[in-house]
């Protein structure tokens, strides 16, 4: 049961990481990576990672300008 709770917390944290990336919130991204020890290249259930999403959003922003 304790392992399940830990796993659920990690899933929630990785979801928050992807949300912070999508919302362009570098402070929250840094906090989740450094203080919570999340891995930026971990894939979610759709095969996306925070690192990959950051790069895609950065490329989209640079093409708009």
18 contacts 53 by C-beta, under 8 angstroms: yes
Q: How far apart are CA 26 and CA 20, in angstroms?
A: 7
Model-wide pTM > 0.75: no
**Residue 28: what pLDDT?**
92
Q: In which domain, by residue range, is 13 found?
A: 2-64
Domain count for the chain, please give it: 1
Render pLDDT for 48-65 as a digit per residue (tens, 0 to 9). Answer: 888 888 888 777 777 665
CATH number of 6's domain? 1.25.40
User: How many C-beta neighbours within 10 Å does residue 10 have?
Assistant: 14
């Amino acid at each position: 049961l304790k392992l399940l709770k830990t796993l659920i917390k990690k899933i929630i944290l990785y979801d928050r990481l992807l949300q912070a990336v999508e919302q362009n919130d570098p402070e929250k991204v840094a906090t989740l990576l450094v203080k919570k020890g999340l891995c930026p290249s971990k894939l979610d259930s759709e095969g996306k990672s925070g690192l990959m999403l950051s790069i895609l959003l950065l490329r989209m922003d640079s093409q708009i300008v």
